[in-house]
Amino acid sequence: MAEVTFIGLGNMGLPMAMNLLKSGHSVTGFDLAEDQVKTLTDAGGKSTNDINHTIQNSDVVITMLPSGKIVRSVYLGDEGLIENAPDNLLLIDSSTIDVETARDVSKAAEQKNLRIVDAPVSGGVGGAQAGTLTFMVGGEKKAFDNAKEYLDIMGGNIIYAGLSGNGQAAKICNNMLLGISMIGTAEAFNLAENLGLDAQTFFDISSTASGQCWSMTSYCPVPGPVPSSPANNNYKPGFSSALMLKDLRLSQEAASMTTSSTPLGANATSIYEEIENLGQDSIDFSGVIKLLQNKLK
Ligand code: NAD
């Protein structure tokens, strides 16, 4: 069994680390928040205050961090993982970050002959707990093959996306589409209701017609048609509007960097910015329907 170092034990990282622990690996966790680390150590994991010492005896480091800036600070520089890693260390970054940072970090690792993948996830906290996340993985194929045995424990669907940064590219494009499709679905339900068509009837028709999409059939933004959707639980996330906005902003950075035209992505970003400006971005992203209904104050 492997020695795993896990950095970033938040809403996603903690259950992911717990699944590695349950599968028999030895897991050492590190987070700025001590209570998160305690949950891991109470379950049989280990903690560290000296990452660069710990990694000398690790087989793999997995990071699950909030932003590209933090990923840079953890991986790069004299005190970073790459400078201090032993030769055989495998690096897996599962944070959702910008493609440029993912590629810069990978380049630095590969210059030291370290294996590294960017492996962002889809599936949310529920998927992290159940070990059913989808991983979109960029990096050298050999690094992917080595990372897969760990990703298989935390996920149900592990997809190789090509070279470094391609995992992040897939994640950002998928979530831009998700944001757009959720707004479209919310607009359709809101208009249907205003035209006198009840939500269940519209769902029964559209979910079997050409308007069908995941935002409707798995995550319907109105209460009723899909019992498991956050709409039935007062829009408690799920996937918060704040995280959706983070990913939409990443999509717009990427669009501007590559001069790609994404007018709907830009529009979706400003709609979720309205939710942020109202101080309501902790609600699930399907709560965008409440913005359309003028019910977010
Ligand atoms: P979170 O804020 O709950 O957790 C992040 C953790 O990182 C926190 O516990 C924080 O203390 C820790 N941290 C911050 N800086 C650190 C540092 N320098 N060293 C060690 N620990 C540090 O966030 P989350 O919801 O777990 O998300 C993590 C990543 O996964 C993000 O990039 C997010 O976009 C992505 N993601 C989240 C979801 C979701 O539903 N929550 C879904 C898919 C992807």
Q: Are residues 153 and 272 in the same domain?
A: no
Q: Are residues 189 and 91 in the same domain?
A: no
Q: Are residues 152 and 13 in the same domain?
A: yes
- Determine, yes or no, domain membership for 201: yes
Q: Are residues 188 and 281 in the same domain?
A: yes
Question: Is 257 close to ligand 1, i.e. is its CB under 6 Å away?
Answer: no
Q: Are residues 142 and 189 in the same domain?
A: no
Q: Are residues 283 and 178 in the same domain?
A: yes
> What atom in ligand 1 is closest to the CA of residue 97?
32
Cβ atoms within 10 Å of 198's Cβ, excluding its own: 12
User: Which CATH number do you get for residue 53?
Assistant: 3.40.50.720
pLDDT, tens only, 154-180: 999 999 999 999 999 999 999 999 999
Question: Is 221 close to ligand 1, i.e. is its CB under 6 Å away?
Answer: no
The last residue of a domain, from among 147, 163, 179: 163
Confidence band of 72 (pLDDT split at 50, 70, 90): very high
For residue 150, how far is its CA from the centre of ligand 1 (angstroms)? 19
Q: Are residues 140 and 29 in the same domain?
A: yes
- What number is the average pLDDT over the span 19-26? 98
The last residue of a domain, from among 163, 188, 218: 163
Question: Is 7 close to ligand 1, i.e. is its CB under 6 Å away?
Answer: yes
Based on the structure, what is the number of domains in the chain? 2
Question: Is 18 close to ligand 1, i.e. is its CB under 6 Å away?
Answer: no
For residue 36, how far is its CA from the centre of ligand 1 (angstroms)? 11
Question: Is 242 close to ligand 1, i.e. is its CB under 6 Å away?
Answer: no
pLDDT, tens only, 183-240: 999 999 999 999 999 999 999 999 999 999 999 999 999 999 999 999 999 999 989 9
CA distances to 13, 109, 113, 252 from 175, in Å: 20, 27, 32, 11
Residue identifier of the C-alpha nearest atom 19 of ligand 1:
31
Active site residues: 171
Q: Are residues 139 and 50 in the same domain?
A: yes
Q: Which residues of 260-297 are buried (b: 16+ CB within 10 A; e: fewer)?
A: eebeebbebbebbeebeeeebbebbbbbbbbbbeeebe
Provide the whole-model pTM.
0.95
Question: What pLDDT was estimated at residue 297?
Answer: 84
Residue identifier of the C-alpha nearest atom 12 of ligand 1:
8
By residue range, what is the domain housing residue 97?
3-163
Q: Which helix or strand (DSSP H or E) is residue 28 part of?
A: strand 26-30
The last residue of a domain, from among 163, 192, 213: 163
For residue 10, how far is its CA from the centre of ligand 1 (angstroms)? 5
Q: Among residues of the chain, what percentage have pLDDT more than 70? A: 100
Read off the tokens for 24: 């028999």
Does the pLDDT value for residue 21 go beyond 90? yes
Residue identifier of the C-alpha nearest atom 1 of ligand 1:
10
Q: Are residues 138 and 26 in the same domain?
A: yes
Q: Are residues 156 and 177 in the same domain?
A: no
Question: Is 9 close to ligand 1, i.e. is its CB under 6 Å away?
Answer: yes
- Determine, yes or no, domain membership for 297: no
The whole-chain average pLDDT of the chain stands at 97
Confidence band of 107 (pLDDT split at 50, 70, 90): very high
Does the pLDDT value for residue 252 go beyond 90? yes
Cα–Cα dist 133/144, whole Å: 16
Residue identifier of the C-alpha nearest atom 8 of ligand 1:
10
User: Which CATH number do you get for residue 258?
Assistant: 1.10.1040.10
Q: Are residues 45 and 61 in the same domain?
A: yes
Q: Are residues 105 and 197 in the same domain?
A: no
- Determine, yes or no, domain membership for 282: yes
